[in-house]
């Protein structure tokens, strides 16, 4: 097997002993959610094909970085690396979860030379309401 280095392209490839190579591809999967309006909801992005922690994770809503708003209506977890993946989550508190919203999970991975790789995550809400109904019963008529 002969390999050529992308870091040193002018060097000629060397003959290398048998080796096993593992190839990874970077993947980001959005985990959308549908929840009742006015309840806490957690959405996430699963990042695969990595061999170490992400360098940064930012969650946005309509372009606004909600990562810096943590502790108010948003709680961000960058997640923990393990088994070539990392899951980052955004918990939207009940007070901010009143209408369908689109969030963006933006990751940076120096390993993959990716800066601000964005994935859209949907948070859809529904309402449960009671309808006022009047019930009448028939009476015996003589």
Nearest to 56 by CA among 108, 104, 106: 108
Beta bridge partners of 53: none
Q: What is the pLDDT of residues 32-89, one digit of tens each?
A: 899 999 999 999 999 999 999 999 999 999 889 997 775 689 999 999 999 999 999 9
Which pTM value belongs to this model? 0.74
Question: How do residues 104-131 score in pLDDT, each as one tens digit?
Answer: 999 999 999 999 999 999 999 999 877 7
Q: Taking a C-beta distance cutoff of 8 angstroms, is the pair 28, 47 a contact?
A: yes
């Amino acid at each position: 097997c002969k390999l050529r280095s992308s870091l040193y392209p002018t060097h000629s490839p060397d003959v290398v002993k048998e080796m096993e190579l593992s190839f990874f591809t970077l993947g980001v999967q959005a985990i959308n959610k549908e929840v009742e309006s006015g309840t806490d909801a957690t959405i996430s992005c699963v990042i695969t094909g990595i061999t170490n922690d992400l360098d940064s994770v930012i969650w946005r809503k309509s372009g606004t970085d909600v990562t810096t708003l943590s502790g108010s209506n948003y709680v961000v977890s960058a997640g923990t690396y393990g088994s070539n993946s990392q899951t980052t989550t955004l918990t939207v508190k009940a007070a901010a979860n009143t209408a369908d919203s689109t969030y963006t999970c933006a990751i940076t991975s120096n390993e993959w030379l990716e800066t601000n790789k964005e994935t859209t995550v949907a948070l859809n809400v529904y309402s449960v309401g009671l309808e006022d109904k009047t019930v009448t019963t028939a009476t015996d008529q003589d």
